[in-house]
Structure 1
Amino acid sequence: MKKKLLLAGILLVVGGTYTIASWQVGNQIEAGIDTNLKNVLAKIRAEYPDSHVYAELSDYQKGIFSSTVRLKVEFADYNDMNFDDIIKIHHGPFPLYSFTEGDFYPKLAVITYDLDKKYNEDLWEMAGNKPFINLSLTRYFDNTNKIVLKNAAIHKFEDSNSIDLSANKMIINYDSTTDLLQTNLSINNFTLIKNNKKIELKDLSLISDSKQNSDNMKIVGKLVLNLGSLSISDDEYEVEKTFKINGLSINQDSLQNNNNISSNSSLLIDSIYFNKQNLGKFKANMDLGFVYDFNNTSEYTLKTNQLSFETMHGSLEADINMKMKTDNLFKNPFSFGSFNNYEFLQTRIELPYNALFSIIARCQNSEKTTISQEDIDQATYQTIPFISMMTARTPFIVIKNDENDFSKNVISSSIYYSPRENKLEINGKSYDPLEFGF
């Protein structure tokens, strides 16, 4: 009996302490939520003066373990994005909502919102008469934040149209003290069929770890994106056409030293299919440089370490190396297109006949599982007149002939341009830059 009374007393104390703590946290939230919203709006307007966004809170209803408040957000230029609905605030230090998610870590509060039916009745019905979107924002005591965005699965088939979407999740962790931003996104499946056209995406994942600096313009860190497959089909014509990529991978790593940002990016596609034909594999690796000055001229560099399309009959290759100085691109993005801003621009393209004509042959015979030498010869016969016309009309393209094997000839282009030196070289020959409008 004494043990039962002791247990009951402990539960009463713990429960009372939990209730008081939740109530106190609720008071803190009520006192600070409006101020925090005003601070966020002030920051947005300072950084993006043309944003024209307005927000207000009203009808705050405080409970012991949770509270509700009406949030109204208006975008002057984008009325379709306006929001006016009730959000729920679960009080810390141990919100009941977190317990249902299997999370027992102490936190200040969790804000949750489920997309209301009134915003899109079709999505509500396709999600099984429940919210299509669930959003939660967790605020921890150490100024870190966690955003979780979930979507419900959708499976709808109507006549020849359909949509199939898996239940997916995106998690964003943000440290307001260090400006460290971490993102994790995964999409298992998305298939859309409409008007004889089909888009299918499988196994997409995105992981990024970045940091935004004090000027809010430079972001450094790491990004990894992987995609199992992406296919686009169209059976509007007599024969269905399908374009598919398998095994796409993107990696980017950016570092900063004062106002100098250096980045390495790589892209790999394991295979590219057109109908039944495997056209080849694509590889790219490049270094990017960015010497940043928000108020004055900035410097940009780009150098490719690899840019190739590999086939069973050889590789198509290209190189780019350039350096330019221009006004800040965020202020004047069109300055990138002016040749006068380049310190130098150097390009190289090598297209071997055997690799190029095999790709053309595979596209022309995409319904076959294999292609023959006869198919390649036919593609060669059809393409050579066009190549001859191009080489006759422009100095930008030349043919490197192989005396022993015609199929080993290479379509080549090499360009070097420098307005500082007033120099233009095309395939080893010097030209007046004004002749080509440089």
Structure 2
Amino acid sequence: MKKSLVTVSVIVAAGAAWTGASWFTGKLIEQRMDEVVNNANRQLQDFLPKTGAKLGYEHVQRGIFSSKIRYVLRSDGSAPPDAIALKPSDEVAFLATIEHGPFPFAQLKRFNLLPSMASAHLELENTTAVRNLFDITKGKSPFNAISRISYSGDTSSAINITPLEYPIGNSSLKFSGGTLNADVSRDMTAIVLDANNASAVFSGPNGFGQTEQISVHGVSLKRASHASQFDIDLSDQTITMKHFKLAVDGRDTVALDGFNLVSKFGEQGNNIGGQIDYTLDALKIQGNDFGAGKLTLKIDKIEGNSLKEFTNHYNQQALALLQHGQGVGLATYERQTTDILLQHLPLLLKNNPTISVAPLSWKNSQGESHFTLDLALTAPSQAESLDQLITRSIKKLDAHLTIPLTMATETTTQAARLQGYNAEDARKLAQQQVQGLATMSQMFKLATQKDNVISSNLHYADSQFDLNGSKMSLQEFMSMFGLPVPKDSDPTQGAVPAAAP
């Protein structure tokens, strides 16, 4: 009897403690709601300043074990007239059901036994502004999310995107759905994303009356970003796509296999730098194998405060130009954006940054070509034009290119077959074209040939160029390629006697 009473007492005490903790958690969630909404609005203003939208919340129904909240995105009237924005009467609403901690049932079902402040289920409400989306998904919310909210305010979300199959006039879109896992810090300065999609297929007529079909399979994104000491978002990210295909009237036109992009950027002291790697396993055009390629690009010694200043100035002026440049011709708009770039680009060169390509390569069944580049830059004292900015900003340059003739012949053969030549004629034409190009490049001293490989080496420093062993001034080099010579340059600087014809 006593044992039973003790057991019942323990259960009652545990239940009371759980109830009290859940009630306290609900109160805590309500107190933090303004902070969550303010952070979201700050992100909207930073990344989408022209939307003119503001997030709010309403209809808070707080219970002991759960609460319900309606988040609403409405126009704040600040969007410019030409922007794609919400109308004053529109609203995009999200319905949230929040289970209070310390052990929300939704997290227990996912075998997450760590105490948490809450677990939230979020989905889009069917309002007038998004009714077309619900038509596409046949009345279902386009997405639903389960989020775990820790006591520190950090959130971890699992988002499921609804599959859809939708006709759009004479076109159609089929999407298999996807998943997105997101971990977001309380102040939204650190974000980790992991997204996956199985497939998407779009088909419809093109401008020539043909039926095009674009299919994408195996797309994934992984991204981890954080705010640096310079208030600039830095990230490591990986984007992969297993297969892309474009077909016209049922015939394969372009196919890409195994595309990967990996980028990593971080800070070291006052500098920001990073590396971007691209790889492509296969490129096929109309069934012809054009090979595979890769690129590694490194950027280093970008001064952090200068990058922040450049970004702020350039974005502000470019946005103002876009908003007030209605009716301006394309040539005028391009000139004005170039002027903005020229005005602020020296900021990026303040700490003598470096850029390297090591390597850019392309290979097929007959060989592999390589291109490497090492470029050291310096901040110019002044630059009135683009050519002056380029010539005064380059401190040192080294570039190397190698192309096996057999590899070039194979690529040119495939290109000739696309033009309708049979295999034998395409091979003969390719051999003639590649050999002719190799001969001309040697004749004009643009390249050398050894062991059936075309090579070209370029070095630049102290206003002197060295192209495959031939030294020349900046003016001679630019004239060699028909480029305009800077007006303020010294025509005798670094000049060497011209070779006899």
Query: What's the offset of the Cα at 1:157?
Result: 5.8
Distance 1:378 1:47, change over 3 A: closer
- SS for the counterpart of 1:125 is helix
User: Partner of 2:140: helix, strand, or coil?
Assistant: coil
Determine what percentage of the aligned residue pairs are the same residue: 14
Deviations 1:360-419 (A, max 9, x none): 221332599x98454221234456667878888xx6x735346xx9xx362x5443344x
Q: Taking structure 1 as reference, are residues 16 and 275 closer, same or farther at Cα in structure 2, changes over 3 Å only?
A: farther
Q: Report Cα offsets for 1:76-102 as digits up to 9, x if no partner.
A: 345436854243250421334445555
Return the letter of the residue paired with 2:118. A
Alpha-carbon distance between aligned partners in 1 of 2:146 and 2:441, rounded to the nearest angstrom:
58
Q: Quick check: 1:72 aligned with 2:73?
A: yes
Is 2:401 the counterpart of 1:353?
A: no
1:206 match: 221
- Residue of structure 1 aligned with 2:414, choices 337, 358, 362: 362
Partner of 2:458: 415
Query: Which SS does the other structure have where 2:305 is aligned?
Result: coil
| Closer/same/farther in 2, CA of residues 241 and 339 from structure 1, 3 Å limit | farther
Q: Does the residue aligned with 1:80 lie in a helix, a strand or coil?
A: coil
Please state if 1:227 is matched with 2:241.
yes
* In the alignment, structure 1 residue 242 sits paired with structure 2 residue 256: no
Q: Of the candidates 155, 163, 167, which is equivalent to residue 153 of structure 1?
A: 163
Cα distance, 1:326 vs structure 2:
4.8
Q: Residues 162 and 69 from structure 1, CA distance in 2 versus in 1: closer, same or farther, beyond 3 angstroms?
A: closer
CA contact (8 A) 1:284 1:306 kept: yes
Q: Does 1:197 align with 2:191?
A: no
Consecutive unaligned residues in structure 1, runs of 5 or more: 328-333
Shift in CA distance, 309/86, structure 1 to aligned 2, threshold 3 Å: closer
- Residue 315 of structure 2 corresponds to none
Identify the match of residue 88 of structure 1 among 83, 91, 96. Answer: 96
Q: Which of 344, 358, 366 does residue 313 from structure 1 map onto?
A: 366
Match of 2:30 in 1: 30
- What is the aligned partner in structure 1 of residue 343 from structure 2? none
Counterparts of 1:181 and 1:22 in 2: how far apart (Å)? 28
| 1:18-417 alignment runs, 5 A limit | 18-38=18-38, 41=41, 54-64=54-64, 65-74=66-75, 76-77=78-79, 78-80=83-85, 83-93=91-101, 94-99=103-108, 101=110, 103-117=112-126, 118-156=128-166, 161-176=171-186, 179-195=189-205, 196-217=211-232, 219=234, 222-235=236-249, 240-295=251-306, 297-326=350-379, 338-365=390-417, 372=423, 374-381=425-432, 398-401=446-449, 408=452, 410=454, 412-417=455-460
Q: Distance in 1 between matches of 2:15 and 2:69?
A: 22
Query: Could you tell me how far apart the structure 2 residues matched to 1:345 and 1:201 are?
Result: 39
Partner Cα separation in structure 1 for residue 373 and residue 2 of structure 2: 83
Q: CA RMSD in A?
A: 4.1
Q: State the 1:242 CA deviation.
A: 1.9
CA distance in 2, matches of 1:58, 1:177: 22
Residue type of the alignment partner of 2:85:
D
Q: Label 1:339 to 1:202 Cα distance change in 2 as closer, same or farther (>3 A).
A: farther
Question: Cα gap change, 1:355/1:44 in structure 2, threshold over 3 Å: closer, same or farther?
Answer: same
Alpha-carbon distance in structure 2 between the residues aligned to 1:104 and 1:316: 54
Q: Quote the Cα distance in structure 1 between the aligned partners of 2:11 and 2:295.
A: 62
Matched-pair contact (CA < 8 Å) for 1:90–1:96: no
- Local SS of the residue matching 2:407: helix
CA distance in 2, matches of 1:287, 1:399: 26
Q: Distance in 2 between matches of 1:429 and 1:287?
A: 29
| Distance in 2 (alpha carbons) for counterparts of 1:111 and 1:339 | 57
In 2, are the aligned partners of 1:127 and 1:154 still within 8 Å (CA)?
yes
Deviation per residue, 1:293-331 (Å, 9 max, x gap): 41462442122222210111222221111122459xxxx
Contact kept in structure 2, 1:345 and 1:417, CA below 8 Å:
yes
1:254-280 CA-to-partner distances (Å, cap 9, x unmatched) read 453212344343332222211222211
Aligned residues: 417
The answer as to whether partners of 1:207 and 1:224 remain within 8 angstroms in 2 is yes
Report how far residue 15 of structure 1 moved: 4.5
Bigger CA drift: 297-306 or 337-346? Answer: 337-346
Give the number of the structure whose residues are more often strand, by fraction.
Answer: 1
Aligned amino acid, residue 114 of structure 1: E
The 1:13–1:335 alpha-carbon spacing in structure 2 relative to 1, beyond 3 Å, is farther
SS in 2 for 1:266: strand
TM-score normalised according to structure 1 size: 0.78
Residues in 1 aligned to 2:51 and 2:135: alpha-carbon distance in whole angstroms: 34
- Cα 1:337–1:320 change in 2 (3 A) is farther
Q: Kindly indicate whether the alpha-carbon contact (under 8 Å) linking 2:448 and 2:456 is maintained by their aligned counterparts in 1.
A: no
Q: Aligned pair in 2 of structure 1 residues 208, 70: CA closer, same or farther (>3 Å)?
A: closer
AA matched with 2:365: M
